[in-house]
């Protein structure tokens, strides 16, 4: 099997991958509480697993390598339950930006931030907004559960999509770390999300709240019908979605410039 784990490769092998215009997946995740039945590594473990599977699936179409997971994510909202190691937005931004710079200096020009934690989504997009205009690499950010989208809903029985420490995450952890899942009474942990709004107000407005605002046990969703068989299908579908994103040439095309040389008789500056 082709080795796609950055940490297991030798420097010269990574230099070859840079020459081959390989995609680098930089997974970003979290260490945070995942209810009484899952370990705090859940997002980090699942994000790494999906990234490795996606890289292997994509490799024949587009060489791909997976950098180590940035486990230090934005999890302030999970702090009330303990077990959570969060960092500030400034630290997260600086770390991700520095790692992108290190990849760019080695010649990599296709970088995919693959996120596995909801709390990182807005920051990840802000980082790309800020870095992309002056970055020689194409930067793309995805969250694998969103990239897989409706395909997850077809597999899950009790939930329309992935939530937190839920039917989906519990099922996937039954595949990745079966010894660390306490499945003694999963149905008792079921926590429907039909109570107060979490990060929202009105029709489409944002309002921050800690996770304890919507759940008593740290779970959001219905882990009661979790199975390893379901988890394997979810992991594979997530990996296929990310692999398709990687292998699609459209993902990496340079920005087009539709301006022409001049408009209303006045020339444009082409360096702006
Ligand atoms: Zn999670």
Q: What is the pLDDT of residue 110?
A: 98
Name which of 128, 179, 133, 157 is nearest 223 in CA terms: 157
CATH of domain 6-254: 3.40.50.10310
Q: What is the pLDDT of residue 270?
A: 83
Determine the distance separating the centroid of ligand 1 and the alpha carbon of 44, expressed in angstroms: 8
Contact 66, 48 (CB under 8 A): yes
Which residues are registered as beta bridge partners of 23? 64, 110
Q: What is the pLDDT of residue 272?
A: 81
Determine the distance separating the centroid of ligand 1 and the alpha carbon of 106, expressed in angstroms: 32
Q: What is the pLDDT of residue 271?
A: 81
Q: Span 13-26, mean pLDDT?
A: 98
Determine the distance separating the centroid of ligand 1 and the alpha carbon of 258, expressed in angstroms: 41
Determine the distance separating the centroid of ligand 1 and the alpha carbon of 197, expressed in angstroms: 19
pLDDT in tens, 263-272: 999 999 988 8
Mean pLDDT for all residues in the chain: 96
The pLDDT confidence band at residue 194, using thresholds 50, 70 and 90, is: confident
Determine the distance separating the centroid of ligand 1 and the alpha carbon of 45, expressed in angstroms: 10
The pLDDT confidence band at residue 180, using thresholds 50, 70 and 90, is: very high
Domain boundaries, the chain: 6-254
pTM over 0.75: yes
Determine the distance separating the centroid of ligand 1 and the alpha carbon of 28, expressed in angstroms: 12
Alpha-carbon separation of residue 9 from 111, 117, 207 (angstroms): 18, 27, 44
Determine the distance separating the centroid of ligand 1 and the alpha carbon of 21, expressed in angstroms: 32
Q: Span 36-53, mean pLDDT?
A: 98
Q: What is the pLDDT of residue 193?
A: 87
List, in order, residues 6 or more apart from 157 with CB less than 8 Å away.
167, 225, 230
Determine the distance separating the centroid of ligand 1 and the alpha carbon of 34, expressed in angstroms: 6
pLDDT in tens, 224-238: 999 999 999 999 999
Q: What is the pLDDT of residue 266?
A: 96
Q: Span 181-208, mean pLDDT?
A: 92
Structural Rg of the chain based on CA atoms: 20
| 77 has a pLDDT exceeding 90 | yes
The pLDDT confidence band at residue 196, using thresholds 50, 70 and 90, is: confident
pLDDT in tens, 95-150: 999 999 999 999 999 999 999 999 999 999 999 999 999 999 999 999 999 999 88
| CA atoms of 111 and 115, how far apart (whole Å) | 13
Contact 10, 20 (CB under 8 A): no
Strand order, beta sheet including 64-66:
64-66, 23-28, 110-115, 138-143
Q: Span 75-99, mean pLDDT?
A: 98
| pLDDT > 70 in the chain, percent | 100
| 241 has a pLDDT exceeding 90 | yes
| 209 has a pLDDT exceeding 80 | yes
Q: Which residues of 43-78 are buried (b: 16+ CB within 10 A; e: fewer)?
A: bbbbbbbbbbbbbbbbbeebbbbbbebbbbbbbbbb
| 195 has a pLDDT exceeding 80 | no
Determine the distance separating the centroid of ligand 1 and the alpha carbon of 156, expressed in angstroms: 16
Determine the distance separating the centroid of ligand 1 and the alpha carbon of 132, expressed in angstroms: 28
């Amino acid at each position: 099997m082709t080795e796609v784990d950055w940490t297991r490769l030798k420097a010269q092998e990574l230099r070859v991958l840079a020459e081959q215009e390989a995609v680098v997946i930089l997974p970003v995740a979290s260490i945070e509480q995942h209810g009484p039945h899952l370990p705090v590594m859940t997002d980090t473990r699942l994000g790494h697993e999906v990234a490795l599977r996606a890289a292997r699936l994509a490799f024949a179409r587009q060489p791909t390598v997976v950098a180590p997971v940035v486990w230090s994510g934005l999890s302030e909202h999970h702090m009330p339950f303990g077990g959570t190691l969060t960092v500030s937005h400034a630290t997260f931004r600086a770390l991700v930006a520095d790692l992108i710079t290190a990849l760019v200096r080695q010649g990599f020009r296709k970088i995919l931030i693959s996120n596995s934690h909801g709390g990182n989504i807005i920051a990840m997009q802000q980082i790309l907004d800020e870095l992309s205009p002056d970055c020689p690499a194409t930067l793309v950010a995805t969250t694998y559960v969103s990239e897989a989208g409706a395909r997850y809903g077809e597999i899950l029985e009790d939930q329309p999509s992935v939530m937190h420490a839920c039917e989906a995450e519990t099922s996937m952890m039954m595949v990745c770390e079966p010894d660390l899942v306490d499945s003694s009474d999963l149905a008792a942990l079921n926590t429907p999300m039909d109570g107060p709004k979490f990060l929202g107000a009105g029709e489409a407005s944002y309002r921050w709240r800690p996770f304890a605002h919507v759940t008593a046990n740290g779970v959001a969703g219905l882990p009661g019908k979790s199975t390893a068989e379901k988890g394997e299908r979810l992991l594979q579908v997530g990996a296929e979605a990310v692999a398709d994103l990687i292998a699609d040439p459209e993902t990496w095309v340079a920005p087009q410039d539709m301006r022409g040389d001049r408009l209303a008789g006045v020339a444009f500056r082409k360096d702006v």
